[in-house]
Structure 1
């Protein structure tokens, strides 16, 4: 599984480069604060909603601490998606939050 640091994701966003972020936390967690522009798909719904994603795009998967996003990244990888897990999750995030 490929990984990316939170500060690297933040740099990509600050440089205005396109990046696709999937937040797999639960609704209440996302409502409490999330990175602007995320795609919100709770982990439990991922297998039912992965058809919404494009296999020609690359994605960074995010959760609270990196565990659930790691599971999601492995799952999506096994279905042919190009994904990276954001190490440390939102606990490691120091950038903008909505």
Structure 2
């Protein structure tokens, strides 16, 4: 499984890159703040929403610590989707967040 550090992802976000960041945390967790531009799809909905992902696009999966996003990345990779796990998740994120 491919991974990216929060530092690497933060540099790309701050450089203005258009990235497909998917936050798989639960509703109450994302209310504390998400990476700007991230889309919220709870882990429990990933399998039923696999059709929302394009096979030609890379996705960056994030959760609180990196465990749930790792499971989401592995599942999506098995479906032929290019998904990268964000190591350390939001616990390691030092960049800007939005509500």
Return the TM-score normalized by structure 2: 0.96
| Structure 2 match to 1:55 | 55
| Structure 1 match to 2:86 | 86
The count of residues paired between Structure 1 and Structure 2 equals: 98
Measured against aligned partners, the alpha-carbon deviations of 1:44-87 in whole angstroms (never above 9, x if no partner) come to 01001111111110000000000000000000000000011000
User: Residues 1-98 of structure 1: matches in 2 within 5 Å?
Assistant: 1-98=1-98
Runs of 4+ in 1 over 4 A off after TM superposition: none
Unaligned runs of 5+ in 1: none
Distance in 1, Cα, partners of 2:67 & 2:5 = 14
Distance in 2, Cα, partners of 1:97 & 1:6 = 13
Return the TM-score normalized by structure 1: 0.97
Q: CA RMSD in A?
A: 0.6
